[in-house]
Structure 1
Amino acid sequence: MTAPVPSAVGSSLLRVSGLRKSFGEHVVLDDLDLEVPEHGCVVLIGASGSGKSTLLRAIDLLEDVDDGSIELRGVDVADPWVDADAARARMGMVFQAYNLFGHMSVLDNVTLAPRLVHGRDRAEAEDAAVEMLTRVGLADKIRAYPDQLSGGQQQRAAIARALVNDPELLLLDEVTSALDPELVGEVLELLAELRREGMTMLIATHEMAFARDVADQVCFLHEGRVHESGTPAQVLGDPQETRTREFLARLHA
């Protein structure tokens, strides 16, 4: 991983404008606008079906969109003329499920994309993977297989896989939702450490305490739009919109 950078928030790294996505008659993203500043951490909250996962998948170009733009450093990566693979290589995505290949060791899982997508030779890819796995606390699990790891270890391996190519933007979709409660803390602490080092992150989560501690901005999604956004203190502590208050009340209940 590159040397830590100052965590001061900079100009926009990602700008999403007028994003629309429908599945049949069901509108999932409805003229959604969003910005993520460089070295910033933006947290998405909202009920299931509000569009959080679809938004992250659209940004990572795993979902085609019907309209709107997704600008990464000013280039609309959603434009059909843009090389989607090259754009996707600049981002790291971590899913709810770990999505590790069960027949491959942790080391092979983490080196797969560097070798096949980025063209690194095996020795170079393995050196980078060992460094990253050590960084996330898995130095002793490099030769293990996913079914030999705890859920928290598998998710840390998935995060290492996303980080090994030094992405400009890290996208995380409810990465603790599949974990037992006692394993959640180890993954959240890793993300908090990445935040302190200046990693630019867009995170969908239901972990409100984590959002309060690490986010520069919290966005409440409702019916495919950013219904309310602001600092964690404002959105989580003094929400202005009725829908936001109702969501937080249900969550705390």
Structure 2
Amino acid sequence: MSAAPLLEVTGLRKCYGERVVLDDVSLAVQPHDVVCLIGSSGSGKSTLLRCLNLLEDIDDGVIRLDGEEISDPRIDPRSVRQRIGMVFQAYNLFPHLSVLDNCTLAPQRVHGVPRRAAEERALALLDRFGLADQARKHPDRLSGGQQQRVALVRALCTGPELLLLDEITAALDPELVGEVLEIVRAEAVAGTTMVVATHEMGFAREVATTVCFLHQGRILEQGPPEQIFTDPREERTRQFLRRVL
């Protein structure tokens, strides 16, 4: 008997005026899954992640997190975001705070974690990902790769049920991409449930449990990485992969 999905999306629709950005998107994410969203720019990947984190209002459909309908308008989005970590393409670190303070702000202010406990967890995660010596520095003293790794650590410091990653390597120089993806690989091995929008096809093939190909706001095809990358059913998927691989 399969476990209930941690995240379940049914018939999701999102429009900006007359433009349909997401059209009848349905998706189920089991605990410990890593779902990679691939597709051309403008296919709806980032908008889908923003809808999942309630940063965008949806026009139709249902989003459930651990069985609770979080797309219900009566739900306080702040309470939902306490359970979901999200990392954006731009690092969005607070420039006036140290790395350590960036990582402990949400646990203390939002989750009520005592300062000492928040700092102990943050320092352990920073050390785990090779950033312990950066803890007292401000973000502008770090490289782009280091800043994005700090953004990942900051999201993990709250112990999220679900981690959403939105093209987190897109703004990085190529030589910095690997060090950021290494953290994501480690979290995948550790069992963190993730939905990842990415242009890194090798990473998706290696780490994902499910790959979803989005085209014109719809999930045109989804399946295990081996099937999507070696024997896609849809011609549009084949065209996309021929172009990017």
Partner of 2:121: 128
Q: Deviation per CA, 1:97-135, whole angstroms, max 9, x where unpaired?
A: 100011111111111111221122322222221122112
Could you say which residue in structure 1 is the equivalent of 2:43? Answer: 50
- Deviations 1:167-221 (Å, cap 9, x if unpaired)? 1111001111111111111111111111111111110101111111111110000
Residue matched to 1:24: 17
Q: Deviations over 1:39-70 (max 9, x none)?
A: 11110000111110000011011111111111
Structure 1 partner of 2:189: 196
> 2:202 aligned to 184, 192, 209, which one?
209
Give the residue type in structure 2 aligned to 1:18.
Answer: G
Aligned equivalents of 2:97, 2:156: Cα separation in 1: 19
Q: Greater shift after overlay, 25-34 or 130-139? A: 130-139
Q: TM-score, normalised by structure 2?
A: 0.97
Alpha-carbon distance in 2 for matches of 1:85, 1:122: 21
**Structure-2 residue corresponding to 1:240:** 233
2:135 aligned partner: 142
Q: Is the 8 A contact 1:10 1:40 kept in 2?
A: no
Distance 2:85 2:3 in 1: 20
CA-atom RMSD, angstroms? 1.2
1:168 maps to 2:130: no
* Residues paired across the two proteins, number: 244
Q: Secondary structure at the match of 1:12?
A: coil
Which residue pairs with 1:3 in the alignment?
none
Measured in 1, the distance between the counterparts of 2:81 and 2:72 equals 13
TM-score calculated relative to the size of structure 1: 0.94
Superposition deviation, residue 238 in structure 1: 1.3
Structure 2 distance, partners of 1:73, 1:67, is: 20
* Unpaired stretches in structure 2, ≥5 consecutive residues: none
Question: How far is the alpha carbon of 1:10 from its aligned partner?
Answer: 4.8
Alignment of 1:33-182 (within 5 A): 33-182=26-175
Would you say the 8 A contact 1:106–1:142 is kept in 2?
Answer: yes
Alpha-carbon distance between aligned partners in 2 of 1:234 and 1:128, rounded to the nearest angstrom: 39
Q: How far apart, CA to CA, are the structure 1 residues paired with 2:113 and 2:223? A: 41
- 2:221 aligned to which of 208, 225, 228: 228
Deviations 1:139-169 (A, max 9, x none): 0000011111111110110000100011111
